[in-house]
Structure 1
Amino acid sequence: MRLTKNKLKLLNPAIQSAVALLVLSGGNVVHAQDTGAAPVATSEEAVNKVVVTARRREETLQDVPVSVTAFSADQLSKVATPDITALAVALPNTTLKASRATNSTLTAFIRGVGQADPLAGFEAGVGIYIDDIYLARPQAAVADIYDVERIEVLRGPQGTLYGRNTIGGAVKYVTRKLAPKTDARLRATIGEFGQKEIVATASTPISETARIGGTFARFKRDGFGKNLTTGGENYDKDVTAARLSAEFTPNQDLFIRIAGDLTQDDSSPKNGHRLIVGRTSGAPILGNVFDTRANLMKALGQDQEVKAHGVSATVEYTINNEWSVKSITASRKDKSYAPIDFDSLAVVDMEVPALYTNKQFSQEFNLTYNGERLQGVAGIYYIDANAFNKFDTILAGAVPTSTFTSGDIDTKAWAIYADGSYQLTDGLSLSLGGRYTVDQRDAEVLRQIYLGAAGSPGLGNPSAILFRTDTDLRGGVLSRKDKKFTPRVALNYKMNADHNVYASYSEGFKGGGFDPRLNVVGTRIPLAVARAGYAPETIETYELGLKSAFNRGRITTNAAVFYSDYQDVQIPGSVAIDTNGDGRDDSFAGVTTNAGKAKIKGAELEAVANLTPNFMVAGMYSYIDAEYKEYFSAGVNVASARTFQNTPKNSANLRVNYDIPLPIMGHGGKISLIGSASYKGATAQFETASLIDQESYKLYDVSIVWTRTDGRVRAGLHGKNLGDKHYKTGGYLFPTLGNEGTLTAFYGNPRQVSATLEYRF
């Protein structure tokens, strides 16, 4: 648990310079009101109003010794933030994006730790929480932003503070509690590509102790491109969402919330842009990266569709001024019909119709103590989850085949955790935490090859002829249990009211599992190895940070440096294979690798300056050096030829906000001129280099917003990606499969201009 001399030597000059800057200038994680284009803070009082619950209790952002960034509802509204993926441009060492071929499945990485594969069996490296409820699966996790109080993003392992393991970090989506008086709000958006959105929210008390409320949201937009085969849309959006809640306060010490939410995504299948000419047909590369020639539109006879819903009950009871207890009970389900046309051509060359279903039940109890010198939280957590997927891999060739793959993964996990902080002196405090986790994983995997390109019985073709069964691991043969204790220790020294330095050591853990695409025959994996599955991954992180405020909070600088020792990194992937020995790849299979060792070091600097009461400048710069040290393939250490995916070495963001007092129609108000410039360094999409990788790029956003003095009316004009930069966010890489070869890329949103109007009744 000590930062040895050898580990200190690994901190390169860039990080050592950041340490010097940290000491000279002071710094902390950016304030909530300073992230994005934020309302101007003009006094120390305004800074101290920023309250987060990063440690499961209310603390000011400046006091919490954790790398956390917070976004308030007002900030998100002011710049028309569409969903949580848009937050990444202002977050150090963070990648949040929609997964390839999807609109609503989330890929999240923080400080090099994450998970890009959305299949059953692979858990996220970054925990996504809605009101402290962990989302076990990435499907439907690209949450559109509505009915939100704030969003908090924590970097580094958080296992001693949260119910589920969060080895890389956590994104907390905190919804708004119901108002004590009748409250109604309406937000409407129109924009390019036929964008039309509406969010309506209302709540009212029905007695002195009970309130009810709900939100309905509709997000609709035409495609950025066209499907040249079907005439339909590509990259369109058609999402409906709703949330209902009831809150009860029988007395001043008891709070109960019952909530339910529903999301339905009826967007068209998102298909990629081919980066290579058709190998057989010579089909050219299309000029518009958002256009496609894909012909697969259905899975199991269903149009593409994602449905997700959940219910929860939260009970909080304040025992006395020091003790409080909380219970969080939740159940969630989602179902996705996903027709994925890998080759993006009008012919049937490599197509994958798929079905994903997920369900989970979780229960958490925690006890919070808030004494004069000691504060802390302790809890127990249980989750019972099932993730199931089945899909066909339909491949053209000398003998067309349809490979059916089914993965059914059960997870039962429980944990106990505690984290407390004791104030040793007026300025010095010590935090200690620990977590004990037990993960039980059981799986069933079936893989069969059928003749022809019409699909398998499992995907709606009962007349298919079975050629061979490559994998049949059902009946309880795949089972593993992983146990781990992970500690955390932090020392926090508040030098004075404005400067707060901390040093911490924390460990993270994510249990092992089984690849749901396992091919015992084609990849010649020994049965014993298949039954063992892949191992857990662990991380040890050292962090040094300093949080400061100057000139009564008008200027803040926030910095942190970190070093992580990452062991047994879980890297799922798919590889093309030759199953019949004829020298031609005729299928693909999942191969999950535990890369033995990796070292990650980095620095993060965030700052804000309120130059005048009306003019704010803020910025972020982050650096990360993530490197594999041990990565064996076929018995050979290939670490020097592997790189970390979704982890750009350099990221930066610069934001300005200038408020102009301007009375309109007899009402006071102000116009805010908001600008943002973001930079992302070169980004690898996989561990090996390919055409899908994205070189460094810049994005520019501008907003002009009028807000009435009383805050009830806001109107804005917003431009996103004004440079119309085309940048890759993912892709499929199987150039040797099928007759045409598959090398397709997916892209982030092009330039969009929209207008918003918000009214609070």
Structure 2
Amino acid sequence: MRTKTSVRLRHSAALLAVSTMIVGGVPALAQSSDAQTTAQTGNTQSEDSSSTDAADIVVTAQFRTQRLQDTPIAITAMNSATLQARSQTNIVDIGQFAPSVNLSNAASFNGNAVAAFIRGIGQEQASFAFEPGVGIYIDDVYYGTTFGAALDLTDLDRVEVLRGPQGTLAGKNSLGGAIKLFSKKPDGNGGGFAEATYGSYNRMEVRASGNFTIAPGLYARVSGVARRRDGFVKQLDFGCVYPAGGTATFVDAGGVSRPVNPPLAQGGIPAGTATDNCVVGREGGGNLFALRASLRYAPTGSPLEVNVTIDHSRDDSEQVATKLAVATNPLSLANSRSYFAANPAGGIPFDNRFITGARSYTNFANYSASGNYTTVFGTPYQVAPGTFTDRPENSANSWGIAGTVDYDLGGGFSIKSITAYRKAWGTSVTDSDGTPVNVLKQRLDNTHKQFTEELRISGKIGSIADLTIGGFYYKANDLARYRIQIPIDLFDFLTDDPVSNRSIAAFGHLELHATERLNLIAGLRYTDDKKTYTFHRLNPDGVPIGFRPGEEIISVPSPVPVFPLNALNGLVAGLNGAASTAKDQRVDYRAGINYRFSDALMAYAQMSTGYKGGGINSQPFVLDQVQPFSPEKLTTYEAGFKSDLFDRRVRLNGAAFLSNYSDIQRTVFFCPESTSTQCAQTKNIADARYKGIELETTVRPLDGLTFDGSLTYIHAEYTKIKDASAGITLGMAPPFASEWQASAGIQYSFDLVGGRLTPRADWSYLSDFFYNAQNRPENKVPGRDLFNARLTYETGDGAWSVSAAVTNLFDKFYEVGVGENIAGLGNSNTVLGRPREWSLSVRRKF
């Protein structure tokens, strides 16, 4: 990493240390006993709790506090102790141990984003033209995009993963389900922690949190994290590994043996400069700094409680770790020649010579492009040759402020207002071809701003019913600035696309207590959406369009430009200033019944709906491809049970579901309305049916010994193809629908040398799935099983603990996603999972 990175880390760590000293140095004022209760603190576990027992968790999935086992929803809840025991530090890690959940860092062309799926339903593309399929919430504040959603799990009270459509309470875009993160609230208990970690790839990390009292009823909490880590994938200099004119050969897709790097005079690629053992960069690393400060006003005996939180994060990550897996386009082998900036007289075919070892963490991506232009967005200008970017950046920065006001109205009713503003911005640079030649480069600059307001009135109607009614408002203004750089002028352009997104909703939820054991549930939500996408298309240099010498990739380089056009790019000439609006109204509902057979067993059944908002095709080449697409819709029938058996030593929860999924959104590459041009258009292409079974269990046969596990089976199939241009058939598998998913863990805690030693081991399994709708072998992600281990020693007073952890214990080489472009360039890049990594942490509670 660069020197400035280490400087930033030291500054970040210093800031955290100063914050911690300030927190620890403020004397706690005298507290009444009421301030120590859960109701007063607002946290479901105490500050020093180390219990992983889910029975202790109180959830708010139905907008009121309930025990996890009393909530008639398929829900996985994890407290902070469980997250720590499993070495889970990022939202993506949750997917390993929650049934039916598949979370991963999105493929590189999506920017710093998360591909989130629950029960096979979600969204992999992070473009502002699309809506998420899994709702992500931070302290009940909805986060309206998957961009910047790779959230750190610092100082959380709990995580709730709700499976199945949550259309009535969570609202739109919680089609597959919802992931809700709840941070610890300030309280009157004082205390906090500081933790330092060192590990593989020079991982250096500091986490800290402090909780203190300013005055009676007024509390504050400060928490943060600073982390740096080198990337685990090495970018290699092709000309250094294989010198031009060398003897190394490879066998191309046609079975012919060819030189890997021919002499320079024949188009060979020269070596770069200032390389370190041919390594010119890395992917998969990065630096993170995040800070959150919370203020809570909750006087004893007062009907009013106010919580205000301000947070900031700076995620200066490298690009997602990828490598070229396939290069098979016959055109590439026959006549494609790619211009290389340092050798303008030649060219080299784009083919499988650029694929590194099948199980190696290496690639030949170079993140620089040929040509005599670069971009300052909004003001294109010419610069020296050879610049596009110099590093695999994948950053995301954000800040936000949220205020929650709770007021007890009396008579069993209360009102809650949740008001929040959030801004996120970042840059992502992708070498989409994964090679040193100039075939496809992308730069994406995203800005997301959102304001949300939610108002709820909740209460009890005697002992007859629990009721919640409310309203929700969401307004987002987004800006997508990107450059698609292909060395054909017709495909090299800039965008500067503003997106306006507004949603208004009203909802109600009623739980009728028919008897002491029987409850009936009804929910209803009306939503009105409006999204406007405006297209701006600019040339990168403002000169007339035409092929420059040596810049073609689908024919032999032309000595002179051909068919010059006007200064506005030919294929996007009609798009500059064009706009389109998508409007939708939707009613979602939920009807359910649950019955408690005994203190140990509750069963439920329900029907619920949800939807994912529509949008506008964001990848048009001509004006008639600027088309809106409709929302996706889901209706799910579900039955489940929750049980605590054998004196609560065995917990077994299960659910079975059948989901009818309609108007599935997918991008197609054939458009009958514009067959004479390129095409990438999002359409509603199919309906599908998903059915499955989920089981979760926790077993405590002895004090200190815990087994936990989960199992999921899902069968997904298309039931109707609505658009043949999508290239799918009824026999194909819908994407992201793994048939099997499982996890298991064992933990044993016992006394040792005046303290307590806790070893833990975890296993997770995810069967193979397709990353997009076309079931080509190139976009199939193989199944994987992973093992983690952790050993923690805690002193007898709980003040100190030391943990040693290993993730991916057996160093499994695996993929988590695919960036596939077989239909276009003939290449496929795989997104790599992290290799085996170790870490050592020291934690101090105070």
TM-score range, shorter chain: 0.7 to 0.9
Does residue 645 (structure 1) correspond to residue 732 (structure 2)? The answer is no
Does residue 96 (structure 1) correspond to residue 103 (structure 2)? The answer is yes
CA distance, structure 2, for counterparts of residue 336 and residue 575 of structure 1: 32
CA distance, structure 2, for counterparts of residue 89 and residue 271 of structure 1: 19
**Larger RCO (CA within 8 A; separation ≥ 6):** 1
Q: Which residue of 2 aligns with 1:71?
A: 78
Q: CA deviation at 1:142?
A: 0.9
Q: In 1, are the aligned partners of 2:417 and 2:453 still within 8 Å (CA)? A: yes
Q: In 1, are the aligned partners of 2:327 and 2:828 still within 8 Å (CA)? A: no
Q: Which residue of 2 aligns with 1:319?
A: 409
Q: Which residue of 2 aligns with 1:417?
A: 507
Q: Which residue of 1 aligns with 2:663?
A: 568
CA distance, structure 2, for counterparts of residue 694 and residue 537 of structure 1: 24
Which of residues 698, 704, 723 in structure 1 aligns to 2:785?
A: 698
Query: What SS does the corresponding residue of 1:62 show, helix, strand or coil?
Result: helix
Q: In 1, are the aligned partners of 2:171 and 2:525 still within 8 Å (CA)? A: no
Does residue 284 (structure 1) correspond to residue 354 (structure 2)? The answer is yes
CA distance, structure 2, for counterparts of residue 713 and residue 636 of structure 1: 58
Q: CA deviation at 1:223?
A: 1.1
Q: CA deviation at 1:479?
A: 1.6
- What TM-score, normalized to structure 1? 0.86
CA distance, structure 1, for counterparts of residue 305 and residue 280 of structure 2: 53
CA distance, structure 2, for counterparts of residue 638 and residue 286 of structure 1: 31
Does residue 372 (structure 1) correspond to residue 442 (structure 2)? The answer is no
Q: Which residue of 2 aligns with 1:403?
A: 493
Structure 1 unmatched runs, 5+ = 1-31, 455-462, 522-526, 582-586
CA distance, structure 1, for counterparts of residue 808 and residue 548 of structure 2: 41
Query: Structure 1 residues 540 and 343, CA, compared in 2 at 3 Å: closer, same or farther?
Result: same
Does residue 331 (structure 1) correspond to residue 381 (structure 2)? The answer is no
Which of residues 750, 755, 758 in structure 1 aligns to 2:840?
A: 755
CA distance, structure 1, for counterparts of residue 598 and residue 365 of structure 2: 62
Give the letter for the 1:647 counterpart: A
Q: Which residue of 2 aligns with 1:14?
A: none
Query: Structure 1 residues 151 and 217, CA, compared in 2 at 3 Å: closer, same or farther?
Result: same
Q: Which residue of 2 aligns with 1:480?
A: 582
Q: CA deviation at 1:143?
A: 0.8
Counterpart mapping for 1:632-711 below 5 A = 632-634=722-724, 638-664=728-754, 669-689=755-775, 690-711=777-798
Does residue 556 (structure 1) correspond to residue 651 (structure 2)? The answer is yes
Give % identity. Answer: 27
Q: Which residue of 1 aligns with 2:285?
A: 236
CA distance, structure 2, for counterparts of residue 277 and residue 512 of structure 1: 34
CA distance, structure 1, for counterparts of residue 678 and residue 757 of structure 2: 56
1:227-284 alpha-carbon deviations (Å, 9 max, x no partner): 2246222211211111112111255321111111111111223352011358415533
Q: In 2, are the aligned partners of 1:446 and 1:471 still within 8 Å (CA)? A: no
Q: In 2, are the aligned partners of 1:408 and 1:516 still within 8 Å (CA)? A: no
Q: In 2, are the aligned partners of 1:299 and 1:353 still within 8 Å (CA)? A: no
Does residue 210 (structure 1) correspond to residue 207 (structure 2)? The answer is no
Q: CA deviation at 1:183?
A: 2.2
Q: Which residue of 2 aligns with 1:459?
A: none
CA distance, structure 1, for counterparts of residue 720 and residue 548 of structure 2: 41
Which of residues 295, 320, 330 in structure 2 aligns to 1:246?
A: 295
Q: In 2, are the aligned partners of 1:273 and 1:291 still within 8 Å (CA)? A: yes
Query: What SS does the corresponding residue of 2:84 show, helix, strand or coil?
Result: helix
Q: In 2, are the aligned partners of 1:383 and 1:414 still within 8 Å (CA)? A: yes
Q: In 1, are the aligned partners of 2:692 and 2:714 still within 8 Å (CA)? A: yes
CA distance, structure 2, for counterparts of residue 165 and residue 469 of structure 1: 33
CA distance, structure 2, for counterparts of residue 589 and residue 234 of structure 1: 31
Q: CA deviation at 1:723?
A: 1.7
CA distance, structure 1, for counterparts of residue 123 and residue 402 of structure 2: 26
Q: Which residue of 1 aligns with 2:815?
A: 728
Q: In 2, are the aligned partners of 1:163 and 1:364 still within 8 Å (CA)? A: no
Q: In 2, are the aligned partners of 1:543 and 1:560 still within 8 Å (CA)? A: yes
Which of residues 465, 468, 476 in structure 2 aligns to 1:385?
A: 476
Does residue 595 (structure 1) correspond to residue 680 (structure 2)? The answer is no
Further displaced range: 568-577 or 111-120: 568-577
Query: What SS does the corresponding residue of 1:275 show, helix, strand or coil?
Result: strand
CA distance, structure 1, for counterparts of residue 566 and residue 281 of structure 2: 30
1:192-243 alpha-carbon deviations (Å, 9 max, x no partner): 1111111121232111122222122112111112222462222112111111
Query: What SS does the corresponding residue of 2:81 show, helix, strand or coil?
Result: helix
Q: In 2, are the aligned partners of 1:315 and 1:326 still within 8 Å (CA)? A: yes
1:492-544 alpha-carbon deviations (Å, 9 max, x no partner): 000111110000000112222102112336xxxxx3x734x101111110000
Which of residues 44, 54, 57 in structure 1 aligns to 2:61?
A: 54
CA distance, structure 2, for counterparts of residue 711 and residue 472 of structure 1: 67
Query: What SS does the corresponding residue of 2:83 show, helix, strand or coil?
Result: helix
Q: CA deviation at 1:483?
A: 0.6
Does residue 348 (structure 1) correspond to residue 449 (structure 2)? The answer is no
Q: Which residue of 1 aligns with 2:29?
A: none
Does residue 498 (structure 1) correspond to residue 600 (structure 2)? The answer is yes
1:271-304 alpha-carbon deviations (Å, 9 max, x no partner): 5201135841553321254322222269857863
Q: CA deviation at 1:126?
A: 0.3
Counterpart mapping for 1:98-247 below 5 A = 98-101=105-108, 104-162=112-170, 164-229=172-237, 231-247=280-296
Q: Which residue of 2 aligns with 1:745?
A: 830
Q: In 2, are the aligned partners of 1:153 and 1:170 still within 8 Å (CA)? A: yes
Query: What SS does the corresponding residue of 1:87 show, helix, strand or coil?
Result: helix
Structure 2 unmatched runs, 5+ = 1-43, 238-278, 333-348, 369-373, 377-387, 540-544, 550-564
Q: CA deviation at 1:588?
A: 6.0
1:732-752 alpha-carbon deviations (Å, 9 max, x no partner): 2224645xx432111111111
Q: Which residue of 2 aligns with 1:19?
A: none
CA distance, structure 1, for counterparts of residue 573 and residue 649 of structure 2: 63
Further displaced range: 386-395 or 300-309: 300-309
CA distance, structure 2, for counterparts of residue 182 and residue 750 of structure 1: 39
Does residue 512 (structure 1) correspond to residue 603 (structure 2)? The answer is no
CA distance, structure 1, for counterparts of residue 111 and residue 832 of structure 2: 12
Equivalenced residue count is 695
Query: Structure 1 residues 546 and 574, CA, compared in 2 at 3 Å: closer, same or farther?
Result: same
Q: In 2, are the aligned partners of 1:164 and 1:381 still within 8 Å (CA)? A: no
Q: In 2, are the aligned partners of 1:105 and 1:139 still within 8 Å (CA)? A: yes
Query: Structure 1 residues 373 and 535, CA, compared in 2 at 3 Å: closer, same or farther?
Result: same
Q: CA deviation at 1:312?
A: 0.9
CA distance, structure 1, for counterparts of residue 427 and residue 671 of structure 2: 24
CA distance, structure 2, for counterparts of residue 215 and residue 345 of structure 1: 42
Q: In 2, are the aligned partners of 1:380 and 1:416 still within 8 Å (CA)? A: yes
Further displaced range: 58-67 or 441-450: 441-450
Q: In 2, are the aligned partners of 1:339 and 1:352 still within 8 Å (CA)? A: yes
Q: Which residue of 2 aligns with 1:530?
A: 626
Q: CA deviation at 1:360?
A: 0.6
Query: Structure 1 residues 292 and 579, CA, compared in 2 at 3 Å: closer, same or farther?
Result: farther
Further displaced range: 484-493 or 177-186: 177-186
Query: Structure 1 residues 471 and 106, CA, compared in 2 at 3 Å: closer, same or farther?
Result: farther
Q: CA deviation at 1:640?
A: 2.0
CA distance, structure 1, for counterparts of residue 94 and residue 419 of structure 2: 28
Query: What SS does the corresponding residue of 1:391 show, helix, strand or coil?
Result: strand
CA distance, structure 1, for counterparts of residue 52 and residue 143 of structure 2: 34
CA distance, structure 2, for counterparts of residue 394 and residue 311 of structure 1: 37
CA distance, structure 2, for counterparts of residue 703 and residue 535 of structure 1: 47
Q: CA deviation at 1:400?
A: 7.4
Q: Which residue of 1 aligns with 2:381?
A: none
Q: Which residue of 2 aligns with 1:29?
A: none
CA distance, structure 1, for counterparts of residue 727 and residue 427 of structure 2: 39
Query: Structure 1 residues 162 and 335, CA, compared in 2 at 3 Å: closer, same or farther?
Result: same
Query: What SS does the corresponding residue of 1:81 show, helix, strand or coil?
Result: coil
Which of residues 336, 360, 365 in structure 2 aligns to 1:294?
A: 365
Q: In 2, are the aligned partners of 1:350 and 1:737 still within 8 Å (CA)? A: no
